[in-house]
Chain A
Amino acid sequence: MFVFFATFYTGPSEGPADEAEVQALIRAARVGNDRAARRLYALHVARVFRAVRPMCGSEAEAEDVTQDAFITVLGSLVKYEPLAGRPFVAWVLTIAMNLARKRKARASRTEEQSLGPSASGVALEETDVLLRQKLLALLNELPERERRIVSLRYGGELTADEVAEVVGVSAANVRKICERQRQRLLQRLEESAP
């Protein structure tokens, strides 16, 4: 009976959502509610893309990884088990990061870094393009594990504890890496600012 009513999910279609609403969306999307699936995607796509982008060689690759991650996530919601203190987005980001790593292992990383208007399909402000270019170049200099940690922390907006669980290192180590890299990145970004 629950399953039948879950297919009629009629929650809000815009705005932020707390974890309880996300869990309701997951239950509805599990039984085939398109609207709930679309909302789950809309809620998390930006965080996933921001976390995945520094791990990929180009915008197109990041798009592919993000969309593949969401297809995998929405297709295997039945396997998802909510854990206390671990939000749904952490599970999504784990899948996305694994896909990015597999893709990188398959094809050697290209140095393309295509960041112009043709990459995104929309003309960005010149300063935005420069900032994006600079940030990606700086992140590219980091060792892979540290890049993953910084991306998950600041792009994926996970807490240090959640990042530690996704990456498989201690939370103290994550905090130490984030503190060191944060100072370095901010300093280098401000040096290059016009």
Chain B
Amino acid sequence: MTFDGVDDERLHQRFAAVAPTEVQVARMQVSVMNGYAQRPVSLWREWLGLLQARPLVNGSLVAVAAMVLIFATPLGALLRALSSLPQLQAVVSVRGDAATTKQWASRNGQNARAPASYD
């Protein structure tokens, strides 16, 4: 208790006269809980709410949805392409070098000397 003196306690008791009635508390609670339900919620919290409501059913649905998204849409192809990106880069760099040499040769004639780096 935050009241140490007798008079402190007496005045605190008098303040009970301005306390809200049960009807007022219930009325305010409806508005407060409506306001709480309508507050802005981030997307991941909505997903969390779904899992909280029915963990098994909604968890399974989320897993199925993720599989469908990966295997039945271009997203899967994109992910596979990204996973093979290092190999692709290696091929492109080799082909790129060959093309550069060919271009240089055609521009300077077949008999022209190649630069030192190509000797």
- Name A's B-contacting residues (CB within 8 A): 3-4, 7-8, 29, 31-32, 34, 37-38, 41-42, 45-46, 49-50, 53-54, 59, 63, 66-67, 70-71, 74-75, 120-122, 124, 128, 131-132, 135-136, 154-155, 157-159, 178, 182-183, 185-186, 189
Contact = CB atoms under 8 A, between A and B. Distances in A.
A71 B36 contact: yes
Contact of A3 (B15, B21, B23, B48): B48
B35 to A, nearest CB: 3
A157 B18 contact: no
A7 B48 contact: yes
Contacts, number: 118
The 9 A-B pairs of least Cβ separation, nearest first, read A71-B35, A121-B23, A132-B17, A75-B39, A49-B20, A67-B28, A131-B17, A70-B32, A53-B18
B63 interface: no
B7 interface: yes
A7 B49 contact: yes
Question: How large, as a class, is the contact surface on chain B?
Answer: 35 or more
- What's the dominant secondary structure at chain B's contact region? helix
A182 B11 CA distance: 7
A17 to B, nearest CB: 15
Contacts of A131: 14, 17
A157 B51 CA distance: 40
Contacts of A45: 20, 25, 28-29
A50 B18 contact: yes
A71 B7 contact: no
A41 B35 CA distance: 12
B45 interface: yes
Contacts of A121: 21, 23-24, 27
Contacts of A74: 32, 35-36, 39
